[in-house]
Amino acid sequence: MSENDNQDTAPDTDTPLWRFAIALWQQERARELCLQLQDQDWSVTRLLCASWLASQGVRYSGTEPESLSYWRRNVTESIRSLKKSLSKSDSLLVPLRESLARAELEAERVELYRAWQALRDINSRDMPSDGYEILMSNLRHAAPATKGSINGTTEPMIRQLAEQIGTVSAGYPHRSGSTPA
């Protein structure tokens, strides 16, 4: 089978969730906050899913198919861990680190596609509820299952991320007359 044959049968992963993720990732502050939360054991892809659902007026329960959790743990996080284990100061390793960074992005793209498949059928729109409240609830539901994952360090980061998300999503229903606190 040639490489072109494989591309013809690959699913189109250009989903609304992927486009939302790309738009948010292009904001430097949002990217920084996501990576800081990742350093606190949060999953960026769960944050993106929770945020996208909020932009659609849908609550995120925080539950996901085991196959998605498995992919994140065994593929995405394994690639990330391997990449991080390589010294940035060793010029010999630069091409390998760059290859692993591309592989990590590809693993995240697949993960977001699979998440979108699981989430796209959720039809329970909570509109016209307070969109900011839905977003904050969703972000909190994206927290890792570890005790203390929402704390004095992460809570301000979540609030700042919510502000960034509000600027990305045209469908995000802001509270009239107020800004996120």
Mean pLDDT of all residues in 65-94: 96
pTM higher than the cut 0.75: yes
**Identity of the residue numbered 169:** S
For residue 171, what pLDDT is reported? 44
Say what percent of the chain tops pLDDT 70.
81
Q: What is the pLDDT at residue 178?
A: 32
Q: Does residue 81 register a pLDDT over 90?
A: yes
Please give the average per-residue pLDDT across 67-71, as a whole number.
94
Contact 55/162 with Cβ under 8 angstroms? no
Which pLDDT score is estimated for 110? 95
